[in-house]
Structure 1
Amino acid sequence: MKPQQNPGIGCISLILLLAIAGVLIAGCTDSSSPGQNGQVSVPPTVTPISGKTKGPLTTVPASPTQDRSGPFIAINPVGEKKIGDVLVISGTTSLPEKTPVYLSWTVNSGGKKSISNKPVLPGVNGTGHFRFVFDTTGFKPGIYTTTVTTGKNGISGSVQFSLTGTYLGTDTPVYYSGATAGSSGAPAITLRPIGDHAQGDVIQITGTTTLREGTLIIYEIYPDYFENAVKRSASSAATPSGISGDTLVIKGTGNTNTWSCAIDTEGYEKTQYIVNVSTMNENGQKSGIFGSAHFTLT
């Protein structure tokens, strides 16, 4: 399962996704395989927002000069964003459904960074679409020049947007290696109530923690029937939706810091989901589940 998308900790997300994929295979007879970060048959991935985006994807013309006489990737306008906003990079393409597209960007005059990849999803009138969701809470302000491409054949689209505000993140993640969950001296990680949502929403998940600023937090989201097979019904998806990702603790007030992530539920199964949050040490070992919450997609 993948996302958060704090650009810069991709390897950890990949390890997590592979680990979760193993759990899913062991826990159910169906195989799974997510969207970004190696998720499980999962649709798009994630990263936080200051609110939520509801409903199906609305297609907005990307550019009046977009050449659509041949294969194309067209990205919808993004506009100006503030740190802490949800960032949605979406668009349309002539590429066939399930074709992987890759997103990269440069910030100001920096080097190009590969950020994420997703499969093309079905659209209308034979035109596919894609959507990438990011939490900008830990991003750096600047001018982002973003490209979505197939990685070959020169088929690509680009868009530029500005991100304003004060940098809240850290360039060096902190790996927690203290007391494990449930033991004396263990840190606290809370999740604010998520509530129920419609399939296709971009959902913000936020919480607080006593962990120090910059600590890496791992989140895992999956159908509750993974933990209780009795809840799995005949209508349950053959390829369950789920996602795993990472985010960083942001400085709060006093001894209480904050964390956040967001998930894109487009294409997810309509069922109840579990959200677990934990930490990881430098050896890739998780220290147990520190916080948990539920929500339902309808």
Structure 2
Amino acid sequence: MKLISFRHGAIDSYGLVDDQQVLDLGAVAGAEAPDLKTALAKGLLSTLAARPAPTLPYASVTLLPVLHNPGKIFCVGHNYEKHRQETGRAKVAHPSIFTRFADTLIAHGAPIVRPRVSTNLDFEGELAIVIGKGGRYIPEDEAMAHIAGFTCANDASVRDWQWHTQQFTPGKNFPSTGALGPWLVTADEITDLPAITVTTRLNGQVVQQAPLADLIFPLPVIVAYLSSFSPLSPGDVILTGTPGGVGAKREPPLWMKPGDVVEVDISGVGLLRNEIVDEA
């Protein structure tokens, strides 16, 4: 299934993309599951998809971040070897974890905003996973069963603010810098996870590309590690790391600027496209 969160008229809902139509599952669920996160938590998606649902033309809806209200957003840093090398980071025994706030998220097609306090806006294409079944101390060999599905993410980073100290939080949490979408592809749709390739294009030129097989810490390791210190809940989002080739480590640096178009294209998952604008 390809699941989206969307706005139609004045109503926010979620649904199942079927060719150029959207089955409005939110209209079917009503108060029982008013958003996609609740439907995941209650395990209702298959039940809702089997019920008769109103259909809308896909072109008539405005996409929202596929999970617009996650309880937690975890991000994994330096999780591809080429990216670790280009940053000069030492090899480590555990994943490097930081957080992003839910109110920084934007949807496919919405603009990424370059803040007025910096011009050092960088791209970071990533595969994001969405938790479908919560848990604590999840074993690695059970971790994949806790993943509802996958989506594309752009962890756009304001590098000079990220580098003010050794803590990443400021540079990762400017408004309208966390693109997520266009949809959630359920886990059963992905048959060869290591072969999935993450590609980032800036104005049509490939700037990042790597298969998921190149992850230093694979998805089960990430889920097990995170759930050891923080209970995971349905709808939590995990950005799994960005490949090498980020703009900050190029010579000269390659910063995104107003008018640029950035795309995160993940095979079998989708294409996330956003234009860059300046903060008003």
TM-score (norm 2): 0.30
TM-score (norm 1): 0.29
Structure (1 or 2) with the greater helix fraction? 2
